[in-house]
Amino acid sequence: MVDHEVAFAAVASGSMWVWHHWLGHLHLDAIRTMVQKNIVNGLNITSPKDFDHVCEGCVLSKSHWLPFPKVSNTIYLKMELVVMDITGPIVGWLLEKKEEVASALKEVVAMLERQLGLKLKKMCSDNGTEFVNSVVESFC
């Protein structure tokens, strides 16, 4: 008998846990719906309501990284870390094109090093195209 509403066919029976794994950790209610509506021909679950433990794979896939902290507790000395980004007009430094960033960056870093008597150790940016180019990379 061919039923045009059946989308898939299965030839094995197993527990809800087995089908959960075989179907790529599909939600249990979706598996129960597939059985009730006969969406998968031959999908037999030996114990449809017995699933009393947490699936480790599902727990790991639903875990997320904590959000990036808004405040850093790390203390940096002067010129140990300089964080840069390009924004609108800044007094004294008005750039018309992104191509001007490399030369302005060299001037700003040289000015800071002269004023503070310290060398820049680490520079951090948002990896925008104004910072990621051969001139800036050769400077760093």
> What's the pTM?
0.43
| Residue 140 structure tokens | 């760093």
Higher pLDDT, 9 or 95: 95
What's the chain's average pLDDT?
Answer: 75
3-state SS, residue 65: coil
3-state SS, residue 136: helix
pLDDT at position 31 over 90: no
88-91 long-range contacts, CB within 8 A, separation 24+? none
pLDDT exceeding 90 applies to what percent of the chain? 5
- The band of 1, judged by pLDDT with boundaries at 50, 70 and 90, is very low
Distance CA 30, CA 62 (A): 18
Residue 43 class from Cβ within 10 Å (0-12 exposed, 13-18 middle, 19+ buried)?
A: buried
- The band of 14, judged by pLDDT with boundaries at 50, 70 and 90, is confident
Residue 90 near residue 48, CB atoms below 8 Å: no
Average pLDDT over residues 6-29: 72
132-137 long-range contacts, CB within 8 A, separation 24+? 133/102, 135/102, 136/101, 136/102, 136/105
**Which of the listed ranges 48-62, 68-82, 90-104 does the model predict with the highest average pLDDT?**
68-82
